[in-house]
Amino acid sequence: MQSNPQLNSKGELQHLLSIEGLPRAILVQILDTAESFVGVTEREVKKVPLLRGKSVFNLFFEPSTRTRTTFEIAAKRLSADVINLNITVSSATKGESLLDTVANLSAMQADIFVVRHESSGAPFLIARHVKAHEHVINAGDGRHAHPTQGLLDLFTIRHYKKDFTKLTVAIVGDVLHSRVARSLIHGLTTLGVPEVRVIGPQTLLPAGVEALGVRVFHDMRAGLKDCDVVVMLRLQNERMRGALLPSAQEYSKHYGLSGDKLALARRDAIVMHPGPMNRGVEIDSTVADGPHSVILPQVTFGIAVRMAVMSIVAGN
Amino acid sequence: MTKLPDAEKLCEQLAAELRPRITPKTGMVGLYTGGAWLAERLHPMLGLKLPLGLMDIAFYRDDYAARGLHHDPKRTKIPFDVSGCELLLVDDVLYSGRTVRAAMNELFDYGRPASISLVVLAERGGRQLPICAQHVGARVEVPAGQRLRLKREDSGKLVLALEAERAE
């Protein structure tokens, strides 16, 4: 078996590249550590000294506001120095290669690279080339993975539902293009969720998705029945052009989360969304702002989860 | 074999020693794990008005760079305003003093206490920092290579025990 590129020789987390392939114990360690960091984020002084003197480079080859900002806040609350690089308007446009960019930053004494890239696998490539004391965290690569989003979703589910082993979780929408869905499915199955459902039109579900251990529904009403957790995915407008969908209105009618569809889930179901939301397309405002919605707590928990990931990898 | 003092008796003795100095402004914070057990005992015995605080110093340790983050840190909960409080900081065993230093750093991120006194069930030699306890249950000689620890039995009874020092 090939060794896991995320783990060091002692089996500890060295880089966070993907939830896929991480043992249950490490997922639980991250969630437990994040729980302690939630306590820190609720204090007057929201800072701990763990990463004092360390430099975190936010390398964003693809635009992002929320993810980049929450990584920045997380690093600052760990007392690290944070350098934000928006590469789309930087050296890449002048022809510098990805590894040359990283080598230059490494020469500036980087400790952690937080990488978002439109190509699947880019953070893996970087992780293979960095020095032993440097760590890579994947902040979203192509259609492949977005592990910290998956982890914050898992944290949110555990926060509200406590026990993974009795849950029915539905993931609704454009699973095909979603790195969030992929990461979350791996996390949910690893933590023992007995029923993970994916709901969406055939054209937006990956072929053979059942192999990930999920049940497939094309009828949203049937799929939502008795769910404890409903995770809505963003409908990416650019997908409309690819003839995958007739129109946003048509999509919303069948796969948008409205109050009456949500009523089919359990009475205490929670509704999640990784953001940014298209109100009136995949989710109605009454639901997004309603009592079942935990969309804003997800953002807050995201900071604690990213603090946990950075402090665990930097210590290993 | 070193004869270790009875932890339950030391607990009673500490409570008796602390009782005369309790005021409405006295707060108590126990350090996970052994100090938290001891504080959970002392707090009701002393009838403190302020609720008990429990602290995990994992995010303030000075050996993070060498040893990484401890697995399974507990969430620090201090359910009162420490500013202006006369704080009793409770731990099981005082050894190098590094835990206490980390705990004081963390406490000051919650506010500015009027005073902090250190309460320990037992102290041993081997201080690496200029830290001493104001209230000590017992002084214990610990043989080289051994570690003194507080344990809690299933019945809830507190017991001091010696075990081999972990390889660092």
Confirm if A275 and A66 have CB atoms less than 8 A apart: yes
The pLDDT assigned to B2 comes to 65
Residue A283 identity (one-letter amino acid): I
- What single DSSP character describes residue A162? -
Q: Does B60 touch chain A (CB under 8 A)?
A: yes
Q: Which residue has the tokens 């405002």?
A: A285
Q: Does A125 touch chain B (CB under 8 A)?
A: no
Q: What is the pLDDT of residues A123-164, one digit of tens each?
A: 999 999 999 999 999 999 988 999 999 999 999 999 999 999
Q: Where are the beta strands (DSSP E) in chain B?
A: 26-31, 53-55, 86-94, 115-123, 135-139, 146-152, 158-164
Give this prediction's pTM: 0.92
Kindly report the nearest CA distance between residue B75 and chain A, in angstroms. 4
Q: Which residue has the tokens 């650019």?
A: A238
Q: Does A45 touch chain B (CB under 8 A)?
A: yes
**Most B-contacting residue of A31, A37, A47, A48 (CB-CB within 10 A), to test interface:** A48
Sign for the CA dihedral angle at B36, B40, B41, B47 comes to: positive
Residues of chain B with C-beta less than 8 angstroms from the C-beta of A48: 59-60, 106, 109
With a pLDDT cut of 70, the percent of chain B lying above it is 98
pLDDT at A83 over 50: yes
Q: Could you tell me how many helices (H) and strands (E) chain A has, helices first?
A: 11, 9
pLDDT at A236 over 90: no
Asked if the peptide bond before residue A276 counts as cis, ω within 30 degrees of 0, the response is yes
Q: Does B69 touch chain A (CB under 8 A)?
A: yes
The pLDDT assigned to A111 comes to 96
Sign for the CA dihedral angle at B46, B50, B56, B62 comes to: negative
Q: Does B59 touch chain A (CB under 8 A)?
A: yes
Q: Does B96 touch chain A (CB under 8 A)?
A: no
Query: CB-CB: which of B60, B74, B111 is closest to A49?
Result: B60
Mean pLDDT of chain B: 94
Angle CA(A183)–CA(A115)–CA(A120) in degrees, nearest 5?
A: 55
Residues of chain A with C-beta less than 8 angstroms from the C-beta of B75: 35-36, 38-39
Structural tokens at position A49: 């000294």
Residue A140 identity (one-letter amino acid): G
- Residues 6 or more apart whose CB falls under 8 angstroms from that of A250 comprise none
Q: Does A36 touch chain B (CB under 8 A)?
A: yes
d(C-alpha B28, C-alpha B88), whole Å: 5
Instruction: Read off φ and ψ for residue A173, nearest 5 degrees.
Output: 125, -140
With a pLDDT cut of 90, the percent of chain A lying above it is 79
Instruction: List the single range of A82-86, A157-161, B95-99 with lowest mean pLDDT.
Output: A82-86
pLDDT at A185 over 50: yes
Kindly report the nearest CA distance between residue A272 and chain B, in angstroms. 25
CA nearest A87: which of A64, A55, A120?
Answer: A64
Local structure of A232: helix, strand or coil: strand
Confirm if B45 and B80 have CB atoms less than 8 A apart: no
Q: What is the pLDDT of residues B25-57, one digit of tens each?
A: 999 999 999 999 999 999 999 999 999 999 999
Q: Does B111 touch chain A (CB under 8 A)?
A: yes
d(C-alpha B161, C-alpha B7), whole Å: 10
CA nearest A290: which of A271, A266, A275, A305?
Answer: A271
Sign for the CA dihedral angle at A24, A25, A29, A30 comes to: negative
Confirm if A11 and A24 have CB atoms less than 8 A apart: no
Kindly report the nearest CA distance between residue B41 and chain A, in angstroms. 24
With a pLDDT cut of 90, the percent of chain B lying above it is 89
**Most A-contacting residue of B33, B59, B74, B109 (CB-CB within 10 A), to test interface:** B59
Instruction: List the single range of A85-94, A228-237, B31-40 with lowest mean pLDDT.
Output: A85-94
Mean pLDDT of chain A: 92
Mean per-residue pLDDT, A54-73:
92
- Residues 6 or more apart whose CB falls under 8 angstroms from that of B39 comprise B28, B29, B30, B52, B54, B90
Q: State how far the alpha carbon of A301 is from the alpha carbons of A148, A151, A159, in Å.
A: 11, 10, 10
DSSP per position, A256-284: SB-HHHHTTS-TT-EEE--S---BTTTB-
Q: What is the pLDDT of residues B115-136, one digit of tens each?
A: 999 999 999 999 999 999 999 9
